[in-house]
Structure 1
Amino acid sequence: MSQHDFLVEIGTEELPPKALKKLSEAFGAGIEQGLRDADLNFGKVRLYAAPRRLAVLVESLDERQPDREIEKRGPSVKAPEKAVAGFARGCGVDADALEVIDTDKGQYYQYRSIQQGQPTAGLLAEIVNRSLAALPIPKRMRWGASKVEFVRPAHWCLMLLGDEVIDAEVLGHKAGRKTYGHRFHYNRAIEIMAPADYDRVLRDNAYVMADFASRRDNIHEQVTLAAQNLGATAVIDDDLLDEVTALVEWPVALAGRFEERFLSVPAEALISSMKEHQKYFHVVDNAGQIQPYFITVSNIESSDPQQVIAGNEKVIRPRLSDAAFFFETDKKQTLESRIDRLKPIVFQQQLGTLFDKTERIAKLAGEIASRIGGDRALAERAGMLCKTDLVTEMVLEFDDLQGLMGSYYAKHDSEHDEVAAAMLEQYLPKFAGDQLPQTLTGCAVAMADRLDTLTGLFGINQPPTGSKDPFALRRATLGVLRILVEKELDLDLRELLDFSADLHANLPARDGLADKVLDFMLERFRAWFEDDGVPAEVFQAVVATRPTRPLDFAKRVTAVNRFRAMNEATALAAANKRVSNILAKQEQASAPASVRRELLSEDAEVALFDALETIRNEVESKFNVCDYAAAYERLATLREPVDQFFDQVMVMADDEQVRNNRLALLTSLRGLFLRGADISLL
């Protein structure tokens, strides 16, 4: 079968830079899926994305669909003639054209035909339009008098299969072979004669690097070289690099300079101003200190680049001046003096203001600090100040600096070092894999803030539902769990949740609130351990005993996962399951509180009793110090006496005293295993 390359390009107004990469990937994935659904074979798929275009090149695409053999089974040969005639009519043939086949249920009529594959050219328009309609565009727009909708106004459509133009209409435009070059360097049409020429023709003739990845690499190389020419190192953030790549078609990196007086402003504020507002890359020296330079990526190849640099230096100066002004202005007031300014700011309508929240955070942080060996007074102080930088001029202008500026201002106010550190550490970890607070005060405030939000929102019946989690409670939960486990802080989560809930006034869902939040938080452990390769049944075995201390929970999971790999695990898990089933069916009220040795008559039950008594104290001492691994290693030695007991002893003996004594023995056995987890679930 003949094969041809296929190219589609959608030309538009400048596309949203932060969405360009995602749109390109979704467009390509949609076309690939459409081709597969059409049963078409193809080779490599190449994606192209630039500010004014989305394009997909599919190599070696089948010229037409393969023919398909269609088989339809009809009624039995014993069926009435009218039924047979109806089946044939439905297939578009006479009854004489039907075949008779033998099946295990007898002879049946069957219709068989060959469906001719359609030419690929006739399928591509629908595939492209369907892919465009499915793009992740939150809000589509219209333009002119057209009813067509897209993320930005569309201006042209190029669609080729081999060297032939596809007869199609996409986003209100008739497909052709024309594309357009750079808006300034080559603002005119250019024809693409074959799909494979697309990238080369645009690059060599029209000042457009259409390949996103190649353009990104080119920018990275240029920015790196520009910084080296300054004797410095460019700090190239991946997200910023992607955004800049989406802003230019013909990148040219240029280095500019700003006044050294601005270096007295916190480096993060300078970086935020350059990065967020101007899309500049900053540079640092060998010690990692910011230098008075920036690198911008222009979308034109100027004959006088110094003019472009001067223009950018002129633009960045007032931005940095604003940052310097905000910093100096903010330092004239202490963080403490800003506490009352939190009173009018609503955190959540039913949960009060930011001032109310900081009061709760302070009390809870103090309680947490006292339990982890921290300083209650410092934690309470940090809790009261933790949101005050939100009303500073700097954070109002650069909201991504919250916490960080609080730390700077706390140091300026001569607050304790741990209080200053906690201003920033309260937001850690911000994402999966992010660093954790380093100070105990920071840990206390970070957990208090999250626990306050969790108990508050659950207390007003606003837990996360499905994918909706506007207050990021799932992320908050993982943050608390990570701090407790990775910092080895052995706190009882249920006690903290109860303490936190009591700080809220008039929560409508106060009854059982701590347990609801605890269940939600412990469930977040599931994904955590799945990522670590821990089987689901291990998590289930531990969560069944409902430990309330996350550090303890993690230790149990590690120990049970290790136990699961032991040779004795399968037999002991099965035995525990059997014991659980037996005990669940019995009325335990009449069973003795402890096993009476004189009622043990069978050798196997005596052996099990003796084995239990031999290891009991050692195992319980291991459980008491949370050494679950050692405890389960010791419990593994019970495999043989447990197996012999079930092989040789009738638990439900006729004699009530003997029966109850044996049930008590099993209860003792089961209780010892349950100190760590319910291994019957393994």
Structure 2
Amino acid sequence: MHQKNDLLIELGTEELPPKSLKSLSESFTNSIVSQLDEARLTFATVRSFASPRRLAVLVSDVETAQADEIVEKRGPAVAAAFDAEGNATKAAQGWARGMGITVDQADRLKTDKGEWLMYKATVPGKQLSELVQGMLEVATKQLPIPKTMRWGSGDHHFIRPLHRLTVLLGNDVIPASLFGVASSNKVTGHRFHHADDLTVNHANEYAETLRKGWVIADFAERRETIQQAVVELAAAENGIPVWDEDLIDEVASLVEYPVALVAGFSEAFLSVPKEALIYTMKDDQRYFPLIDSNGNLLPRFIFITNIQSKDPAQVVSGNEKVIRPRLADAQFFFDTDKKIKLADRLAKLDSVLFQKELGSVGDKARRIEANAGSIADALGADSKAAARAGLLAKADLVSGMVMEFPEVQGVMGMHYARNDGESEVTAQAIEAHYRPRFAGDELPSSPEGCAVALADKLDTLVGIFGIGQTPKGDRDPFGLRRAAIGMIRILVEKKLALDLVSLVDIAVKSYGSIIKNPDEVNEQVVDFLLGRFRAWYQEQNISVDVIQAVLARRPTVALDFDNRVKAVAEFRANPQAEALAAANKRVSNILAKAEGDIGPVDKTLLAEDAEIALYAALTDIRDTVSSAATNGDYSAALSALATLREPVDTFFDSVMVNADDMKVRNNRLALLNALRNEFLKVADISLLQ
């Protein structure tokens, strides 16, 4: 058995891009691990480390050498390896040369099928120390680096300049080099608190050694430290921190020794809508704003610094000075914007391009106005308020605030609408029309908001499909996939029983003559929307065959589609499902070979007990299935259909469908057709695996 030891590899660099740090660390670790697996070197555990100035991986109890490998390679058959005089043929000689031996040194492999030449050799395993250099080169090449940089007078290219390469196996340095930097047992400490290098005496002492140098190397630990400190400081301020996972990740990627401090700003800035202030604090400065229990913004924020200052008040004062002009900008834009009504900004939208073939954002706003009104009518909502919101929905795009802080579009439209005296329904619908902005985002709360959100997304989908610029591969510049999923979520989760064909038709008609082939575009967009159901349900762990079974029926009311999927997923777990799915598949295959039209069942032609019993059972449940399907209670419909398992099985065991008598044959096909049509009221069960 080979010895085992701990392997440490660290790349010590200049500050790495904070938004990429997690993905760089994952890639580096995964590459080292997969290469160890390929080299057949077992290990116990793997631990990743990542901070602004380092990527590292610690592999514990890794085998220090590969096991020897027995290599066996079969050559030509003996009959073909020698001529009549017993001399080796050219084929045998060529094979032997390739193996690095002579023909007479080859072993023989005898089987009941014949005898072959055989090459056997023991290939000694390599030491881990011999493999590390290659692993390093592969791991660095595989890093997801969008753009490399060159430094110094050399010709090396990497994501950031490399200053240290630390490679240890236990307490021994493994010789290696990258970008002209030779390996050592030295690591770089904190840029300000420990400028000197530190010596790592053993691979497993890496984290503790760096801790002495004011560096928390473990990303997850650093992140937890930040989160905990922010929560505690916020509580002391009687506030709740505003954050998201990406913000905490980014802040954890910016510091090696996090220290949390509280700062404040003038209450005068609270006259500005909180969304704009929160955006500039979070996105521009990576601060954590604070709100009270009612959701009101407090004039306080928490920030994370990378130093333990002897005079924290100076650090706090510096950050307050930094944020003040940004908040003052927001206040200036807000006060200036309020002087012009949203409705008066519409003319400016005519000079903003939506898409060269589809016109301006002003054209889009007028289409959304008409479409939102029509959709609101279908929902029984306030069509005037929805239409007004549709017209004004994009007006804040030409406001100073949104041009400076694009993330607050929609939100500022709501505030400006309130300032202009628009109805609250209209104001809220303006904000809601972008929803859902991302996976898991909240949906519009009002039917008018839903109408405007659907109208906006439909306009983009129909327009882009109308000019033939459908998404291809990863390319989706207009976010059509996101728009489609957003529509599905609104229709299903808000339980809006609207038909996709009718909705798309509303948007197609609003484009008028711009769309040359309206029927074709309608079908393409509806198919695209139905196709997105698959991605949406797969995220919910619903199996593909369930989705395919429903897609085969092409139900175009999203809510109805959802009801069917849930019912089929539930049915799939039914003990009767497998047999009925197989029976449906068999029926489908039989009917596919049938010639001519299949008429109704003629009771007088039913002779066999099994077909009479199946017809009776089918007749008994037909009204139940029809009623349940009509009411969207597909679970009840499938429960009734599940009772057919026994008569269906008996039918196939006892009855010859392709009877000699043509009338009897056709009648039995009619019975199977009637059976299949009952199932098709829900889904194509034959597609279940």
What TM-score do you get using the length of structure 2 for normalisation? Answer: 0.93
Quote the sequence identity (%): 51
* Runs (5+) with no aligned partner, structure 1: none
State the match for 2:628 in structure 1. 622
Q: Which moved more, 1:166-175 or 1:634-643?
A: 634-643
State the match for 1:20 in structure 2. 21
- How many Å apart are 1:647 and its aligned residue? 4.2
What does residue range 335-354 of structure 1 map to in structure 2 within 5 Å?
335-354=342-361
Q: Which moved more, 1:80-89 or 1:494-503?
A: 80-89
State the match for 1:636 in structure 2. 642
Does residue 319 (structure 1) correspond to residue 326 (structure 2)? The answer is: yes
State the match for 2:68 in structure 1. 67
Give the letter aligned to residue 207 of structure 1.
W
Give the letter aligned to residue 179 of structure 2.
L
Give the letter aligned to residue 93 of structure 1.
I
State the match for 1:417 in structure 2. 424
- How many Å apart are 1:16 and its aligned residue? 0.9
Give the letter aligned to residue 150 of structure 1.
F
- How many Å apart are 1:236 and its aligned residue? 4.3
> 1 CA distance for matches of 2:676 and 2:327?
69
State the match for 1:445 in structure 2. 452
- How many Å apart are 1:658 and its aligned residue? 4.0
**SS class of match (1:279):** coil
Determine if contact 1:461/1:509 at 8 Å carries over to the other structure: no
Does residue 150 (structure 1) correspond to residue 151 (structure 2)? The answer is: no
Give the letter aligned to residue 665 of structure 1.
L
> 1 CA distance for matches of 2:218 and 2:614?
72
State the match for 2:681 in structure 1. 675
Residue 116 (structure 2) aligned to one of 104, 108, 124: 108
Does residue 356 (structure 1) correspond to residue 363 (structure 2)? The answer is: yes
What does residue range 347-496 of structure 1 map to in structure 2 within 5 Å?
347-496=354-503
> 2 CA distance for matches of 1:328 and 1:86?
87
Does residue 250 (structure 1) correspond to residue 251 (structure 2)? The answer is: no
**SS class of match (1:242):** helix
The structure-2 alpha-carbon separation of the partners of 1:176 and 1:658, relative to structure 1 and needing over 3 Å to count, comes to closer
Large movers: runs of 4+ above 6 Å: none
State the match for 2:586 in structure 1. 578
> 2 CA distance for matches of 1:642 and 1:36?
52
The structure-2 alpha-carbon separation of the partners of 1:548 and 1:95, relative to structure 1 and needing over 3 Å to count, comes to same
Does residue 279 (structure 1) correspond to residue 304 (structure 2)? The answer is: no
State the match for 1:125 in structure 2. 133
Q: Which moved more, 1:544-553 or 1:349-358?
A: 349-358
- How many Å apart are 1:259 and its aligned residue? 1.0
Q: Count residues with an aligned counterpart.
A: 679
> 2 CA distance for matches of 1:20 and 1:430?
25
Give the letter aligned to residue 70 of structure 1.
V
Residue 140 (structure 1) aligned to one of 133, 136, 148: 148
> 1 CA distance for matches of 2:612 and 2:211?
87
**SS class of match (1:512):** helix
Residue 174 (structure 2) aligned to one of 147, 152, 166: 166
Does residue 48 (structure 1) correspond to residue 54 (structure 2)? The answer is: no
- How many Å apart are 1:69 and its aligned residue? 1.2
**SS class of match (1:128):** helix
> 2 CA distance for matches of 1:170 and 1:508?
59
The structure-2 alpha-carbon separation of the partners of 1:495 and 1:325, relative to structure 1 and needing over 3 Å to count, comes to same
What does residue range 642-657 of structure 1 map to in structure 2 within 5 Å?
642-657=648-663
> 2 CA distance for matches of 1:281 and 1:677?
50
**SS class of match (1:158):** strand
Q: Which moved more, 1:169-178 or 1:68-77?
A: 169-178
- How many Å apart are 1:134 and its aligned residue? 0.8
- How many Å apart are 1:8 and its aligned residue? 2.2
State the match for 2:186 in structure 1. 178
- How many Å apart are 1:653 and its aligned residue? 4.0
State the match for 2:85 in structure 1. none
- How many Å apart are 1:238 and its aligned residue? 2.5
Deviation by residue 1:154-204 (Cα, 9 ceiling, x = unmatched): 223222233333322212322233332222233333333332333222221
- How many Å apart are 1:124 and its aligned residue? 0.8
Determine if contact 2:358/2:514 at 8 Å carries over to the other structure: no
Deviation by residue 1:499-534 (Cα, 9 ceiling, x = unmatched): 212222433564522222222221222233334443
- How many Å apart are 1:491 and its aligned residue? 1.0
**SS class of match (1:432):** coil
State the match for 2:299 in structure 1. 292
- How many Å apart are 1:604 and its aligned residue? 4.1
> 1 CA distance for matches of 2:244 and 2:251?
10
The structure-2 alpha-carbon separation of the partners of 1:181 and 1:629, relative to structure 1 and needing over 3 Å to count, comes to closer
The structure-2 alpha-carbon separation of the partners of 1:320 and 1:433, relative to structure 1 and needing over 3 Å to count, comes to same
Determine if contact 1:256/1:310 at 8 Å carries over to the other structure: yes
The structure-2 alpha-carbon separation of the partners of 1:632 and 1:181, relative to structure 1 and needing over 3 Å to count, comes to closer
- How many Å apart are 1:603 and its aligned residue? 4.4
- How many Å apart are 1:551 and its aligned residue? 0.9
Q: Which moved more, 1:506-515 or 1:412-421?
A: 506-515
Determine if contact 1:458/1:509 at 8 Å carries over to the other structure: no
Determine if contact 1:460/1:509 at 8 Å carries over to the other structure: no
> 2 CA distance for matches of 1:53 and 1:257?
33
State the match for 1:595 in structure 2. 601
The structure-2 alpha-carbon separation of the partners of 1:630 and 1:216, relative to structure 1 and needing over 3 Å to count, comes to closer
The structure-2 alpha-carbon separation of the partners of 1:6 and 1:457, relative to structure 1 and needing over 3 Å to count, comes to same
Determine if contact 1:220/1:236 at 8 Å carries over to the other structure: no
> 1 CA distance for matches of 2:24 and 2:52?
11
> 2 CA distance for matches of 1:277 and 1:313?
14
CA RMSD, 1 decimal = 2.3
Give the letter aligned to residue 670 of structure 1.
R
Give the letter aligned to residue 521 of structure 2.
L
Give the letter aligned to residue 10 of structure 1.
L
State the match for 1:309 in structure 2. 316
Residue 550 (structure 1) aligned to one of 529, 549, 558: 558
Q: Which moved more, 1:477-486 or 1:224-233?
A: 224-233
**SS class of match (2:18):** coil
Determine if contact 1:75/1:84 at 8 Å carries over to the other structure: yes
Give the letter aligned to residue 68 of structure 2.
D
- How many Å apart are 1:557 and its aligned residue? 1.8
Determine if contact 1:156/1:179 at 8 Å carries over to the other structure: yes
Give the letter aligned to residue 566 of structure 2.
T
The structure-2 alpha-carbon separation of the partners of 1:57 and 1:302, relative to structure 1 and needing over 3 Å to count, comes to same
- How many Å apart are 1:567 and its aligned residue? 4.0
The structure-2 alpha-carbon separation of the partners of 1:222 and 1:84, relative to structure 1 and needing over 3 Å to count, comes to same
**SS class of match (1:588):** coil
Determine if contact 2:65/2:126 at 8 Å carries over to the other structure: yes
* Runs (5+) with no aligned partner, structure 2: 83-87
**SS class of match (1:409):** helix
- How many Å apart are 1:575 and its aligned residue? 3.3
Give the letter aligned to residue 565 of structure 2.
V
Determine if contact 1:340/1:355 at 8 Å carries over to the other structure: yes
Determine if contact 1:403/1:427 at 8 Å carries over to the other structure: yes
> 2 CA distance for matches of 1:197 and 1:649?
77
